[in-house]
Amino acid sequence: MNQRVRINTTGGPEVMQLIQDEPQRPGPDQVLLRQYAVGLNYIDVYFRTGLYPQALPGGLGLEGAGIVEAVGDNVREFQAGDRVAYAGGPTGAYATYRLIPASVLVRLPDAIDFETAAAVMLKGLTVAYLFHRTYALKPGQTMVFHAAAGGVGLIACQWARALGVKMIGTAGSEKKVAMAREHGCWEVINYNAQNFVSRVRELTDGQGVPVVYDSVGKATFTGSLDCLAPLGLMVSFGNASGAVEDFSLLDLSKRGSLFVTRPRLFDYVASREALNALSGLLFEQLLSGGLEAQVGRRYALSDIQQAHRDLEGRELTGSAILLP
Ligand code: NDP
């Protein structure tokens, strides 16, 4: 029997309903996957509320790890029994069994367990592209990264330390500040207690930083621009506080010819080659000990509404996973 979360309409956590059905047979190019751990991501909230539209009724969730149960026609790279993980493809990860295009799967090294994979695939691939593709960080550089104690955040802290990059993180409570620091963040600012722009200016002798990674969105966007040195890059990659409103191009010019980008993971792993290269970087970090998965909380599928309430209520640190 399969258990999966379905939404018939967009809205609050209550729109997520757990239903039971039979696992389906994979169609051409598809794999039937038995999932043992599923990642909870803030992007799931955007799909649930309708900020990111999808056809309804629909599923939720974009990340999981498990064992291939059956493969459809044309699938050559995988067979029943393979240990795999994914981040992306159609929504529907909140389930025991699911169909998934083989093109988004990667084979999991034996040393990486399912919980670890579900905790780091989507968030770790995100850090990989942000730090190695969107802006190629170099040892000794200083940068700003918001929400440093969250799922993506704690991976960023550890990855920055491994690269020798000085990360100035922000976080919403003293407990979160301490966690980010413990995971390798060079300096951490409680942005609910202190003006983060002045503190960043202070820490950089008034120079600002070459790059800001901002997933908080609406609440921090303008402040983030103010943290940049001339010719700096604003990487706006999320909307946890709401979508960024329109801004004037002159805001970039008057602060010193700034650049701005609004990247999505899925564009950086669109080809098999790009996906393999970035997951290679991620697995290397895990296997070398530079990165350890931080599972902050585990939920049963039946607790999915509570899991979303905790995520939106800023209750969580590190990665949360579902155990179907
Ligand atoms: P997190 O675990 O980081 O949770 C979001 C965090 O954002 C909260 O814990 C909170 O931390 C902070 N936050 C600030 N303001 C608010 C607010 N008003 N409401 C809720 N949270 C707020 O989530 P994830 O690790 O799953 O994702 C982090 C971000 O990265 C998300 O915005 C996500 O959409 C984005 N993302 C983007 C990708 C891309 O390719 N573009 C890919 C993956 C993730 P605090 O209390 O410390 O402020």
How many residues are recorded in the chain?
A: 324
Q: How far apart are CA 39 and CA 16, in angstroms?
A: 16
Angle at alpha carbon of residue 129, lines to 186 and 291, rounded to 5°: 50
Nearest CA to ligand 1 atom 1: 150
Number of domains observed in the structure of the chain: 2
Q: Relative to the CA of 123, which ligand 1 atom is closest?
A: 43
Span 128-154, pLDDT tens digits:
999 999 999 999 999 999 999 999 999
Query: Using a 6 Å cutoff on CB, does residue 39 contact ligand 1?
Result: no
Q: How far is CA 255 from the centre of its chain?
A: 29
d(CA 97, CA 108): 18
At 144, which CATH number?
Answer: 3.40.50.720
pLDDT at 91 over 90: yes
User: What local confidence, expressed as pLDDT, does residue 246 receive?
Assistant: 87
Domain end among 262, 284, 307: 262
In a domain, 146, yes or no: yes
Q: What is the CATH number of the domain that holds 309?
A: 3.90.180.10
Determine, yes or no, domain membership for 281.
yes
Together in a domain, 244 and 295: no
CB of 176 shorter than 6 A to ligand 1? yes
Query: Across the chain, what does the average pLDDT equal?
Result: 98
The pairing of strands 142-145 and 166-171 is parallel
Query: What is the spatial distance between Cα 149 and Cα 132, in angstroms, rounded to a whole number?
Result: 21
Q: Is there a single domain that holds both residue 143 and residue 101?
A: no
Q: Tell me, using a 6 A CB cutoff, whether residue 312 lines ligand 1.
A: yes
Please give the radius of gyration of the chain, using alpha carbons only, rounded to the nearest integer.
Answer: 20
Domain that holds residue 6: 2-120+269-323
Ligand 1 atom 9, closest CA: 314
Question: Hey, what long-range contacts does 72-76 have (CB within 8 A, 24 or more apart)?
Answer: 72/25, 72/26, 72/27, 72/28, 72/29, 72/30, 72/31, 72/102, 73/27, 73/28, 73/29, 74/28, 74/29, 75/26, 75/29, 75/30, 75/31, 75/102
pLDDT tens-place string over residues 217-262: 999 999 999 999 999 999 999 999 999 988 999 999 999 999 999 9
Gap from CA of 307 to ligand 1 centroid (Å):
14
What percentage of the chain reaches a pLDDT higher than 90?
Answer: 99
Domain shared by 298 and 250, yes or no: no
**201 lies in the same domain as 243:** yes
| 144 and 257 co-located in one domain | yes
Mutate to test the pocket of ligand 1, among 42, 121, 262 (most ligand atoms within 8 A of CB): 42
ipTM: 0.99
Q: Which atom of ligand 1 is nearest to the CA of 215?
A: 32
Which of these, 117, 126, 168, lies nearest to 295 by C-alpha position?
Answer: 117
114 plus 15 within the same structural domain:
yes
CA of 102 to the centre of ligand 1 (A): 28
> What does the pLDDT average to over 194-209?
98
**Among residues 262, 277, 294, which one ends one of the domains?**
262
- Please tell me whether residues 257 and 297 are part of one structural domain: no
Pocket of ligand 1 contains residue 296 by CB under 6 Å: no
Mean pLDDT, residues 290-302 taken together: 97
- My answer on whether 283 and 247 are in the same domain is no
Is the beta carbon of 318 within 6 A of some atom in ligand 1?
Answer: no
156 and 73 inside one domain: no
Same domain, 176 and 287: no
User: In testing the pocket of ligand 1, which one of 125, 314, 321 has its CB within 8 Å of the most ligand atoms?
Assistant: 314
Is there a domain that residue 46 lies in?
A: yes
Residue nearest to atom 17 of ligand 1 (CA): 241
- What is the pLDDT averaged over residues 155-175? 98
Task: Give the residue-averaged pLDDT of 281-286.
Answer: 98
- The pLDDT value recorded for residue 245 is 86
Any atom of ligand 1 within 6 Å of the Cβ of 149: yes
Distance CA 207, CA 200 (A): 9
Identity of the residue numbered 77: E
Asked if the structure places residue 126 within a domain, the reply is no
> Do 249 and 290 fall within a single domain?
no
Residue 19 lies in a domain: yes
Residues in CB range of 50: below 8 A, 6 or more apart: 10, 11
